Amino acid sequence: MAEYLWFEGTPFPPLAFKTETIRACRDKFVMKDEDTVILTYPKSGTNWLVEIVCLIHTKGDPKWIQSVFSWRRSPCLESNNGYALLENTEGPHLMKSHLPFRLFPKSLFNSKAKVIYVIRNPRDVLVSGYFFWKDSKLHKHPKSLQEYLEWFIEGNVPYGSWFEHIRGWMSMRERDNFLVLSYEELKKDTRGTIEKICQFLGKKLEPEELDSVLQNSSFQVMKDNKMSNFSLVPTHYFPNGVLLMRKGISGDWKNHFTVAQAEAFNKIFQEKMACFPPEFFPWE
Ligand code: A3P
């Protein structure tokens, strides 16, 4: 099995990505003012946001999310298929991306495209990623949570360092076209956070339309929706099935980290994120 595809110091899963596509993303892709980007470090709630934004676009009507694959509704910009789809279709586009700041299309900085950046407690990101990639055939997989934790801290996991991702993108947080959300606030106050997204996207929904967005993007409904739960991803990549809709909770890391792992992680977190005040991150 291939290890990773490395591009300028960032590891990518080798099968769905190519060096030329990742380079073209940064240097050639033209981001338009009308485009919307859902941007995350992987396993932070990307697909939840895709579902919510799709439902906001249809004013709560679930027909689109029930009939079109999630990865077609919101193609992954840097993947081979996603890039081709975005290049060959008329906009405005909704897309998702996990690219770190330094590899993102330069054209973003001259456009008014709207970007929603979702952050999540890196401990939960780590646990979610461990269970997601542990049996995949996409790239090298870890033998234990401890091994994955070491890779995560080194940035030797798909899309590289979580710490670098956050530091890079947070430099955009004061811009009007950049909305920062957290998985934790979305869990705690889903309705209020969806209203915030509507406001950012300039969409006005009636209360019953909002109810439908909430209902149709819930964990259970997404888990049962074949267009959204990744159950139809080819099995040669994930022989045991894709574990996208795993638990959908905040704080699951407490069930998996040992005390020593938690302490080691805290120390690294404090060192690497010292540039941000502690209240900046809305998790325990
Ligand atoms: P867990 O593995 O902790 O359960 P991504 O889409 O970035 O790959 O993130 C996947 C994580 O988001 C998974 O976390 C998944 O369960 C969670 N998730 C997806 N849809 C969700 C929803 N509707 N509500 C809550 N969590 C959701």
Domain residue spans of the chain: 5-280
Question: How many whole angstroms from 189 Cα to the centroid of ligand 1?
Answer: 16
Query: What separation in Å is there between the alpha carbon of 51 and the centre of ligand 1?
Result: 11
d(CA 2, CA 16): 12
CA–CA dist 170, 173 (Å, integer): 5
**Catalytic option among 98, 139, 165, 236:** 98
In the reported structure, the alpha carbon of residue 182 is separated from the centroid of ligand 1 by a whole-number distance in angstroms of 12
User: Atom 24, ligand 1: which residue's CA is nearest?
Assistant: 219
How far, in Å, CA of 103 to CA of 192, rounded? 32
CA of 135 to the centre of ligand 1 (A): 18
Q: Whose CA is nearest to atom 19 of ligand 1?
A: 48
CA-nearest residue, atom 20 of ligand 1: 48
236 is catalytic: no
Question: Where do we find the tokens 């990307």?
Answer: 46
Alpha carbons 221 and 223: distance in angstroms, whole number: 5
Which residues sit with their C-beta closer than 6 Å to ligand 1? Answer: 40, 42-48, 124, 128, 217-219, 222, 244-248, 252
CA-based nearest residue to 91, from 37, 16, 23: 37
Among 227, 229, 246, the mutation site with the greatest number of ligand 1 atoms within 8 A of its Cβ is 246
Give the pLDDT of the chain (284 residues) as one tens digit per residue: 558 999 999 999 888 899 999 999 999 999 999 999 999 999 999 999 999 999 999 999 999 999 999 999 999 999 999 999 999 999 999 999 999 999 999 999 999 999 999 999 999 999 999 999 887 777 778 889 999 999 999 999 999 999 999 999 999 999 999 999 999 999 999 999 999 999 999 999 999 999 999 999 999 999 999 999 988 877 777 877 788 999 999 999 999 999 999 999 999 999 999 999 888 898 87
> What's the pLDDT score for residue 224?
96
Q: How far is CA 168 from CA 43, 136, 176, in A?
A: 18, 28, 17
pLDDT score for 89:
93
If one counts every other C-beta atom within 10 angstroms of the C-beta of residue 95, the result is 24
CATH number among 3.30.70.20, 1.10.150.120, 3.10.50.40, 3.40.50.300, domain 5-280: 3.40.50.300
pTM for the whole structure: 0.96
